[in-house]
A and B are shown apart, each in its own frame.
Chain A
Amino acid sequence: MTFSIDGMSIYETGLMESQNPVILCGLPDIGLVGIIAVSHIIKETGMEEVGYIDSDLFPPVVVFHHGEPKYPIRIFQKGNLIALFTETALSPESLSPLSKLIVKWAKDKGASLLVSIGGIGVPNRIDLESPKVYGAATSLPMRESIKNLGIPLMEEGFLVGPYALISKESKVESVLNLLLLAESFPQYPDPGAAANVILELKKFAPMDVGVKSLTERSEEIRMNARELMRKTTENMQKMGKSQEYELPMMYL
Chain B
Amino acid sequence: MSVPRKLPTDSGSEWLAGAMWDHVEGCLEPLSEIQETELEIILRVDIPCVKRKEDISVKLTEDSATIEAEMEKVIQYEKWGTFQRQARFFRYSKTFLLPSKIDPEFSKARFKNKVLELRLPKKERHFTVNVD
Contacts of A252 in B (CB 8 A): none
In the bound complex, residues from chain B placing their C-beta under 8 Å from that of A187 are 31-33
Known: A219-B49, A226-B31. Contact between A127 and B20, CB under 8 A?
Answer: no
Answer whether residue A210 sits at the interface, using C-beta atoms and an 8 A cutoff.
no
**Which residues of the partner chain B approach A192 to less than 8 Å between Cβ atoms?**
113
Assuming the contacts A219-B48, A222-B48, asked whether A186 and B117 have C-beta atoms less than 8 A apart, the reply is: no
Is A251 positioned at the interface, with any CB of B under 8 Å from its CB?
Answer: no
Q: Is the Cβ of A186 less than 8 Å from the Cβ of B82? A: no
- Indicate which residue in A123, A125, A218, A229 contacts B35 across the interface (CB closer than 8 Å): A123
Is the CB of B115 closer than 8 A to any CB of chain A?
A: yes
Query: Does chain A have a CB within 8 A of B126?
Result: no
Interface hits, A64-105 → B, CB 8 Å = 64
A interface, how many residues as a size bin?
10 to 19
Q: Is the CB of B31 within 8 A of A230?
A: yes
**How far apart sit A192 and B113, CA to CA, in the bound complex (Å)?**
10
Size class of the contact patch on chain B: 10 to 19
B112 within 8 A of A: yes
CA distance A192 to B115 in the complex (A): 13
If A126-B44, A230-B20 touch, whether A219 touches B114 (CB-CB below 8 Å) is: yes
A interface majority secondary structure = helix
Q: How far is it, in angstroms, between the C-alpha of A222 and the C-alpha of B114 when the chains are bound? A: 10
Tell me, in angstroms, the Cα distance from A219 to B35 when the chains sit together: 24
Which listed residue (B28, B35, B46) contacts A188, Cβ 8 A?
Answer: B46
A222 & B112 in contact (Cβ 8 Å cutoff): no
A223→B69 CA distance, assembly (Å)? 14
Are A127 and B31 in contact (CB-based, < 8 A)?
Answer: no
Quick check: is B75 within 8 A (CB to CB) of the other chain? yes
Question: Contact string, B53-70, partner A, CB cutoff 8 A, digits 1/0?
Answer: 000000000000000000
**Contacts A123-B35, A223-B28; A185 near B114 (Cβ below 8 A):** no
A-B contacts, 22 of them at CB < 8 A, read: A125-B113, A126-B44, A126-B113, A126-B115, A126-B117, A127-B112, A185-B115, A187-B31, A188-B33, A188-B46, A192-B113, A219-B48, A219-B49, A219-B114, A220-B48, A222-B46, A223-B28, A223-B48, A223-B49, A223-B75, A226-B28, A226-B31
